[in-house]
Structure 1
Amino acid sequence: MSGTHHEATGPARLPFPEVAPDDAAVAERMAARRGGELSALDRLLLHSPPVADGWNELLGALRHRSSLAADLRELAILRVAVLNNAAFEWVAHKDAARRAGVTDAQIDALYEQDPSTHFDARQNLVLELTDASTWGIEVPELLFDQVRAEFSEREIVELMVTIGGYAMVSRFLVALQVPPPEGEVGSS
């Protein structure tokens, strides 16, 4: 990531734990959601198998069982990564954003203070909501009214949990200085 963003380059602050035989099923469920491989994030979560299992279920629901359009979900996740200086999260999601139809110009624009000229109305609302709920926690009434007029109640719930969930992910990653996958760091 560029600018003042955190770039973890060495090993994470905690070592990867040995997975006890009783917890192997948790690791298997996590690997299955990821296509067979555990990420560094997953491996660190296995210090607490119950937390890892709940995390996997929540993030799996947000990524694979949500009604929210994929481009909107990935824009929210990438914007959280930018706002919270989470290089791992950025690298892990930029290709997913591209697959969801987000352009490279839009991905680059997520670093701008006002990226609004690069996005359509729904995307802009998602970014405004992400900024408001990440920076100030409280969402201004006018913004919420605009979101409510554009999105279903289910989409609003899924969007807010996506923003909050990936804020949790970014805080975990940054605090433990988890390096990006394969050590990659870039602005897009």
Structure 2
Amino acid sequence: MNPNDLLAPRLPYADENAPEVAALADRIRAERGGRLPNLYRMLLHSPALAQGWLGFLTAVRQQSSLDPALRELAILRVAILNRSQPEYDAHVTFALKVGLSQDKIDALPHWTGATAFDERARAALALADAMTLDVQVSDEAVAEVVARFGEQQATELIITIAAYNMTTRFLEVLQIDQEAGRQVPSAG
């Protein structure tokens, strides 16, 4: 169980109907399937940053040349390592929609000993681990990712992992409520 499951958010959610944010809240709903996720309800405290966040994360998820399943593997690994239930839950749904198997999702907590992942996925997961746990990444790890993905996709993978470290940390610091019931597995 995530310790934040029983805690209230550290700030109240912004008033999504306030005149200064209503149009942005509507835009977020339009881009997020008619919903205003709790993450954005909190971000609306700073409309300019909420708008920038929306644009940036939309580009990361929808305008990258990365294979969507590999992208979601990396995002899910970051969510597991940072114990972020809201992000894990949201991205299990996205991962399944882009064709990632439940078996691979289930293998993520202990991926280093799993046979479910090919060499590209293993390089992406190793990078997610290094960036999330160590911050300083070895030359060898970066070279492996560049060799397997090329410069553009390596850059996009690094940005994706960094973006979801930012997202999970924002969610966890403010104890933003979970919106569904999947629990984050413990990392191996």
Query: What is the TM-score of this pair, normalised by structure 2?
Result: 0.90
Between stretches 138-147 and 104-113, larger displacement belongs to 104-113
Task: Give the gaps of 5 or more residues in structure 1.
Answer: none
List per-residue Cα deviations over 1:8-38 (Å, max 9, x = no partner): 2343221112243132222222112101210
Task: Kindly tell me the number of residue pairs found equivalent between the two proteins.
Answer: 184
8 Å contact kept, 1:6–1:87: no
8 Å contact kept, 2:83–2:184: no
Which of 130, 147, 150 is matched with 2:148 structurally?
A: 150
Partner of residue 27, structure 2: 29
Which of 12, 15, 37 is matched with 1:15 structurally?
A: 12
**Residue identity in the other structure for 1:15:** P
The whole-number CA distance in structure 2 between the counterparts of 1:12 and 1:39 is: 14
Q: Which runs of 4+ in 1 moved over 6 A?
A: none
Aligned positions of 1:127-142 closer than 5 A:
127-142=125-140
Partner of residue 159, structure 1: 157
8 Å contact kept, 2:77–2:125: yes
- Displacement, 1:57? 0.4
Partner of residue 42, structure 1: 40
- Displacement, 1:6? 4.1
**Residue identity in the other structure for 2:40:** D
1:83 aligns with 2:68: no
8 Å contact kept, 1:147–1:156: yes
The whole-number CA distance in structure 2 between the counterparts of 1:138 and 1:29 is: 37
**Residue identity in the other structure for 1:172:** F
8 Å contact kept, 1:92–1:180: no
Query: What is the TM-score of this pair, normalised by structure 1?
Result: 0.90
Change over 3 Å in CA distance of 1:168–1:72 after alignment to 2: same
- Displacement, 1:163? 0.4
The whole-number CA distance in structure 2 between the counterparts of 1:162 and 1:6 is: 26
Identity of aligned residues (%): 41
Task: Give the gaps of 5 or more residues in structure 2.
Answer: none
